[in-house]
Structures are given as structure tokens and as C-alpha cells.
Amino acid sequence: MTKMKEVISLAHGSGGKLTQELIKNFFLPSFNNPFLAPLTDSAVVEMNGVKFAFTTDSYVIKPLFFPGGDIGKLSVAGTINDLAVAGAKPVFITCGFIIEEGLPLAALKKIVSSIEQTARCAGVEVVAGDTKVVEKGSADGIFINTTGIGVIPPQINLKIASLKIGDYIIINGTVGDHSVAVLSSREELGFEESIESDCAPLYDLVKAIKPWWRFIKFMRDPTRGGIAGISNEIAQGQNFAIKIQEENVPLREETKALCELLGIDPLYLANEGKIIFFVEREKAEDILKALRIHALGKNANIIGEIVAEPVGKVYLETSIGTKRVLDMLIEDQLPRIC
């Protein structure tokens, strides 16, 4: 239990145990309402008979530019993906900029142009914005908040509660690319920039598998905390466990090598172009085939399933059959990854 004399630490923003504690002790008691309660990435709200998804995210990634993207692209893709995994067609987004005095206008220009391109490709309109400037040393280059709204079609009904033993888990490609790209671009590390971030808006991929929507029970984008962290959020308090089959998790050789070198676990690395789909077992192969046809799903694979035990937990089964519980991390492996 967090004590009041304590202060905020980086781990409170990690997406791990301390973030959950902060949400549970600070935010939920104040903001308890039926929309916020499910703790998914988007609130699902109804206004005048129409079902909407509504989501917000602030982006504080460091550095601002990385292989495969920048904070502008990330801030649009990330919010679109939070809508997409709620089954919503993203329609409108807002952009709030907090800029540190001294940011070169050329950098702002590049970022704004990325926002525009990403929004345009995804068919989303940037309809409102806000700009604040703070003194040098009071921010770090630029922080961007994007908030998005999307329309949820009637046939979409995604619920953790609908998951049952035997359901399969699919991911649409290799894990950890975003974290590795950002890590390699942080000067102090000096890695070769061989991997690009997977940062991409994913609604187009979700749309591509429309014929199978009714067999999809739940979706999440494994950003902060990675597939291990997100799987833990899903399994917690449920009457089932999640099994991940290590050999089936798509992973680049370079990511594997880097993780071994640094002693970090790729299953906890952040992704910005991935969705984990919880689907009906009988339709999993069909959905997999459909995903693989799309450029954003060509390395898709079935990576696990809902199992009976240990209840509320996530575990990894290795190729030689050993099992290891994947707990939620307390500290971030990599702060400021998004």
C-alpha cells in the first residue's frame, strides 16, 4: 500500500504493479463509473443511441525521433490502436502539445507532418488542438496528448468476461520491435539501428478481418508492459489462466540477441504495432490466415490459449515443456518508451 508521504517514482508510470496500485488507490476511488470501470484502453460510452469508444494517451517518448517513427506518428497510431482494440472505427482525434522553450521549429515541423500523414493514412481527422509552451527545463522537448473517438458497430461485443478455457491467443507479428528501436537510438547505448519500431495504426488490419469479428472475443494492444504485462492485466481476478507458448511468439533474431545481452525479457517489451486477439478456438486458423494476408499481419501467429490454471496468472511454456510464471513487473525495463 502506497503511503501518502511517498512521492511519485518512474515505476508509477511503467504500466506495471505500481501503475496499477496508483490507479486502484488514487484514480478509481475518485472516478468510479460504469464507463471507466472495465479498465480497458478505451471507455465505451453511449450518446444519443450511438456507441462510441473514447480514449486518451500522453506521449513522452525519448528520443523524439527513432528508427521507424517519431513522437508524432506514435501519438496518432497509439490512440488509433486503443480505439481499434475496442472494435471502434477511429473517426476524430485531438492533439494537445506541451512544448519546451527552445525546441527547434524544424523538429516541430517534422512531428506535425508525421501526425498529419499518420492521421491521413488512417482516415482520421485532427479536429481540435492546443499548444502550451513551458520554460526551458520544465519539459523535455515536446509532450503530446492525443484523444480519440471512434464509432463501435453493433456487431462488436468485446468483453474479458466472454473469455473461456480453450480460446486461442493470436498476435499479428514480432514482439519488442518498438522497444528495441527506441533503445538502439538512445545515444548512450550506441547499438546499431537494425530494427525499426513497429509503430503503425492498426485499424486497417482489424477492418481486414471483418468477416471474423463475431469470433473475436477480446483485443488489446501490448504497449507498456508488453504481452506479459497486458496478459497479466487480463488474467487478473479472472477464473482462468493465460498460457503463452514461447516457441510460437514471433521474435526477431536481433531482438533475441539484444535481450540476452541486456538480461531483459522480450515478452515485457513495448509494442506499438501489435494486437493480441483472443478468439474462438475453432476459428483461430481462419483468422490467422486472414491476418497473414495483410502487410501488418504477415508474421502473425497463435501464441497461446486460455487455460484453467493457475487461476488469474500468466505462464510461459518453453519448447522443452518447462513452465514459468510471467508476473507483472514492478519497475519499468525501459522508461519513456511511449
Nearer to a second copy by Cβ, of 280 and 332: the residue is 332
Q: State the Cα–Cα distance between residues 270 and 268, nearest whole angstrom.
A: 7
Q: State the Cα–Cα distance between residues 28 and 35, nearest whole angstrom.
A: 11
Q: Which stretch binds a second copy (CB under 8 A): 97-105, 176-184, 235-243, 296-304?
A: 97-105
C-beta atoms surrounding 191 within 10 Å: 16
| Minimal distance, residue 76 CB to a second copy, in Å | 11
Sheet holding 276-279, edge to edge: 216-220, 276-279, 168-171, 301-307, 241-245, 314-317, 323-325
| Minimal distance, residue 252 CB to a second copy, in Å | 27
Question: Which cell goes with 273?
Answer: 504495432
Return the residues of window 213-242 that contact a second copy according to CB under 8 A. none
Regarding beta strands 314-317 and 241-245, do their DSSP bridges make them parallel or antiparallel, or are they unpaired? parallel
Return the residues of window 71-90 that contact a second copy according to CB under 8 A. none
Among 63, 67, 100, 254, binds a second copy (CB under 8 A): 100
- The residue count for binding a second copy (CB under 8 A) is 82
Nearer to a second copy by Cβ, of 56 and 248: the residue is 56
Nearer to a second copy by Cβ, of 75 and 271: the residue is 75
Q: State the Cα–Cα distance between residues 271 and 178, nearest whole angstrom.
A: 5
Nearer to a second copy by Cβ, of 140 and 196: the residue is 140
| Minimal distance, residue 328 CB to a second copy, in Å | 16
179 lies in the site for a second copy, by CB under 8 A: no
Q: State the Cα–Cα distance between residues 273 and 253, nearest whole angstrom.
A: 18
* φ/ψ of residue 67, rounded to 5: -60, 125
Q: Quick check: 172 and 79 in contact, CB under 8 A?
A: no
Among 94, 185, 245, 299, binds a second copy (CB under 8 A): 94
Return the residues of window 114-173 that contact a second copy according to CB under 8 A. 115-116, 119, 125-135, 137-140, 143, 145, 147, 149, 151
Nearer to a second copy by Cβ, of 127 and 325: the residue is 127
Q: Is 29 exposed, middle or buried (0-12, 13-18, 19+ CB in 10 A)?
A: exposed
Among 63, 67, 92, 238, binds a second copy (CB under 8 A): 92
| Minimal distance, residue 232 CB to a second copy, in Å | 18
Return the residues of window 276-335 that contact a second copy according to CB under 8 A. 335
| Minimal distance, residue 12 CB to a second copy, in Å | 5
Q: State the Cα–Cα distance between residues 218 and 41, nearest whole angstrom.
A: 12
Q: State the Cα–Cα distance between residues 276 and 210, nearest whole angstrom.
A: 16
Q: State the Cα–Cα distance between residues 111 and 71, nearest whole angstrom.
A: 7
Nearer to a second copy by Cβ, of 145 and 299: the residue is 145
Return the residues of window 4-63 that contact a second copy according to CB under 8 A. 4-14, 19, 22-23, 26-27, 30-31, 33, 35-36, 42-43, 45, 47-50, 52, 54-60
